[in-house]
Structure 1
Amino acid sequence: MPFEKVEQGKLADAVVRQIELLILRGILQPGERLPSERELSERMGVSRPSLREAVSALQRKGLLTARPGAGIFVSDELGAQFSPALTSLFASHEEALFDVIAFRRDIEGLAIERAARAGSDTDLRVVDAIFTKMEAAHARRSAAEEAALDAQFHMAIVEASHNVVMLHMMRSMFELLKKGVVVNRQVMFRQRTTRDTLLDQHRAINAALQARDPVAARAAVEAHLDFVEAAQRLQVRADRNEAVARKRFEHEQSR
């Protein structure tokens, strides 16, 4: 766990500060359970009364929440800026669909540039480890696992950018990202796009990032999302054409 012993001073304030930073930096995530009071006090080197004072302060701020019989958790509300209803609305309307892709292109392009320049070696190892898992899922032909890892891959790049506003913005729409990845893959497979093509695009993104080439990394992300957008536009056109063809067919049958 990421907790450290606190410095001297008012211990409760130091505990509050440390847990706030762990949440701000995305290390502690919405819905995550904290260790038990005994374990946490030992890890942080503070008394239980000081720890309880800090936890109470964080609860008043809305950062932590108590669940009777279960423990103390990071508040779910920190990751709930996009409600399930709004996520479904975005996924089901053409206008929002292309806005989401454009938003991702802008944010992820900026994020990977920052990650290539400022990400630590460990950040880049995380991204590379997820890509390795994608390759393994691809070899097993595990489409669902590969799609889930696809979303994690893109999220890890944002995390590696070390911009906390960008991080929490993308975390708040992670469900939308996961749903979008699944839908995008389904659409592209209907158009005979191979899983190999998508894996190669992610390989190019990873390779440029591991080389710490911000220009090539951004270009690879943008090329991938341009490909996704083109596939979606092609499918929208095909669906419209099919709807018109069905009306013509129904009309012909009724004559």
Structure 2
Amino acid sequence: MSFPTLAIPHAADVTENQLELLIFSGALRPVDALPSERNLAVAMGISRTTLREALSRLQGKGLVQREGNTTRITEIVDVMLSQSKIDLTTLQPAAILDMMIYLMSALAESAVSRQTKIDQAAIREAALVAQSALSEASKNKFVDSVHHLFLLTAEAAHNFLGVQTLHVLLKTFRKAHLDAVEVIRKDPAAMTMAQAAIEQLINNAPHGASRLLTVLSLPASDQVLTLKISREAAKGSQLEAAAVIAAEIESGSYPVGSYLPDISELALRYGLAENAVRLALQILLARGLINIEKFGQARILSDRAAKPFASLAAAITRQPIAIAAVFEFRVILECWSARLAAAHVTESQKMKLLNMLNDMDPAVDNDPVAYSLADIRLHHQIAAAAGNAPLEALLMALSQLIGSVTQYWLSEHIEFRGTNKLIHDQHIAIVNAITAGDTNRAQAAMDAHLSYVTTTLRDVDDRRARSAVAQIRSRLRNS
């Protein structure tokens, strides 16, 4: 995270940062459409050219997708699952349901203390719609209304990654939930439970969401999921232009360190519109292939694009609210993972965990990068021991994102605290609880570890902010 300087950022940089904040704060839901370019540019007080530059950069990072004249928020978790070649519909439905209900319950618990009056009003209004739809003929209307209600409750927890993940799980189960409505309507006890859960939400009790999801999901637990999620990337002229120019860079036609021809020449050479080339360069900038220098010259930085989601991870490490969201989401998933691992760990898995700890010990303070990689492997092994394939698959899909943020955190921590020994001691406590088969202690140890991380992150950010102010003060006085 770089310190602020006295230099005034380019308008596109500021716009990109503001839109990232909207996404990482959870203000925008997956597949939500942004306002039209004209309206959004007016609202932000910028030109449409500046806005298009910023949107192209976000597209390069995988945060938005362009569909003709419409820009939508990417289903980040869905795409990460696809990148990892994970199809939730091939996994055991009952295990996915367990994870979805647990996630909904954890987000509802967080919403209790985090929801605002605006959140409460939105949830109450949606709950009233769901209450009316429960007894109406249309199954689609009821399922749409309760899915919206679940996502509103998740949004009240103010964690964008939780909302993104719940969105994918609900989409996966949509057909099963439609089938379940008929079963519920024929069962007086299930109808009573559904009505009671909705009443809780009307009365501003977020836990009603997890109870309603449980009622809706029980009839689906033995069904085979048939919904296949479409993950075709949106195509557009700027994407096509980016692909053409990237292929030329990777082939060596434009060597590293050289400059690309100007926009008009590139457009003429490849038969592309100049505006498409201009926006394509912003995508290549986000992917780490080029840097756009003074007078718009594009210099080649690398002949290999960043790994999938590397630029997204880099964007997250620039936003304190996003870093906190990643670790808070880890608390939700990995506390459950540790609890399950303590209940299901095998003898061979115990030995793997203990051997990993021994291998990590020499790197604690001597090699932060090696320790961060070992840290990620340890958490993966805990997930593997949990015995829930969808949970392990989700954590694996998110591993690049979580790993990048973890590396950032550990490097900041050792600079801030001077040692990572406390982190290692926390890992030891987690593994000891898991190998002892103590579910409560394993969950508590993981919670203490990740809660410490999120708390210390705020301390690090505060310290960084004070240091930045001190640096600027020094520059001004010595200039």
Q: How much has 1:219 moved relative to structure 2?
A: 1.1
Using the alignment, how far apart are the partners of 1:249 and 1:129 within structure 2? 49
Alignment of 1:159-238 (within 5 A): 159-238=384-463
Asked if the contact 2:309/2:400 (under 8 Å) is kept, the reply is no
Structure 2 residues without counterparts, runs of 5 or longer: 1-86, 93-307
Q: Paired residue for 1:110?
A: 336
2:379 maps to what in 1?
154
2:369 maps to a residue whose letter is A
- Superposed CA deviations along residues 55-97 of structure 1, whole A, max 9, x for unmatched, are xxxxxxxxxxxxxxxxxxxxxxxxxxx7223222222211110
Q: Which residue of 1 aligns with 2:352?
A: 126
2:315 matches 1:89: yes
| Deviation (angstroms), 1:138 | 4.1
Residue 171 of structure 1, CA deviation: 0.6
- Partner of residue 98 from structure 1, selected from 302, 306, 324: 324
Aligned equivalents of 2:423, 2:459: Cα separation in 1: 17
Distance 1:111 1:237, change over 3 A: same
Say which structure, 1 or 2, has more relative contact order (CA 8 Å, 6+ apart): 1
Q: Is this contact kept in 1: 2:413–2:420, CA < 8 A?
A: no
Contact persistence 1:119–1:160 (CA under 8 A): yes
- Give yes or no for contact 2:342–2:437 (8 Å, CA) kept in 1: yes
Contact 2:368 2:411 in 1 (8 A): no
Q: State how far apart, in whole Å, the 2-side matches of 1:91 and 1:163 are.
A: 29
Q: Report matched runs for 1:41-80 at 5 Å.
A: none
Cα distance change of structure 1 residues 92 and 219 upon mapping to structure 2, 3 Å threshold: same
Deviation per CA, 1:35-61, whole angstroms, max 9, x where unpaired? xxxxxxxxxxxxxxxxxxxxxxxxxxx
Larger radius of gyration: 2
Q: Which amino acid aligns with 1:231?
A: T
Query: CA 1:99–1:114 in structure 2 vs 1: closer, same or farther (change >3 Å)?
Result: same
RMSD between superposed Cα atoms in Å: 2.7
CA contact (8 A) 2:368 2:410 kept: no
Shift of 1:251: 4.0
| CA displacement, residues 147-184 of structure 1 (integer Å, 9 cap, x when unaligned) | 21111001111111111111111111111222222211
What is the count of residue pairs matched by the alignment? Answer: 179
TM-score by length of 2: 0.35
Aligned to 1:54: none
Of 149-158 and 88-97, more deviation after overlay is shown by: 88-97
Question: Which amino acid is 2:353 matched to?
Answer: V
Shift in alpha-carbon separation, 1:180–1:251, aligned structure 2, 3 A = same
Between 83-92 and 101-110, the greater mean CA deviation after superposition: 83-92
Fraction of identical pairs, as percent = 23
456, 469, 478: which one pairs with 1:244?
A: 469
1:146 positional shift: 2.1
Deviations 1:193-240 (A, max 9, x none): 423222211111111111111111111111111221222111111121
Per the alignment, residue 144 of structure 1 pairs with: 369
Query: Using the alignment, how far apart are the partners of 2:355 and 2:91 within structure 1?
Result: 24
Q: Distance in 2 between matches of 1:84 and 1:213?
A: 37
- Mapping of residues 29-40 of structure 1, within 5 Å: none
The 10-residue stretch of structure 1 (129-138 or 148-157) with the greater mean CA deviation from structure 2: 129-138
Q: Please tell me whether the aligned partners of residues 137 and 143 of structure 1 are also in contact (alpha carbons under 8 angstroms).
A: yes
The aligned amino acid for 2:394 is M
1:24 to partner: Cα distance: 5.9
Q: What secondary structure sits across from 2:417 in the alignment?
A: coil
2:421 maps to a residue whose letter is D
TM-score between the two structures when normalised by the length of structure 1: 0.62
The answer to whether the Cα contact below 8 Å between 1:187 and 1:231 also exists between their aligned partners in 2 is: no
Structure 1: how far apart are the matches of 2:349 and 2:477?
Answer: 61
- Classify the secondary structure of the residue corresponding to 1:191: helix
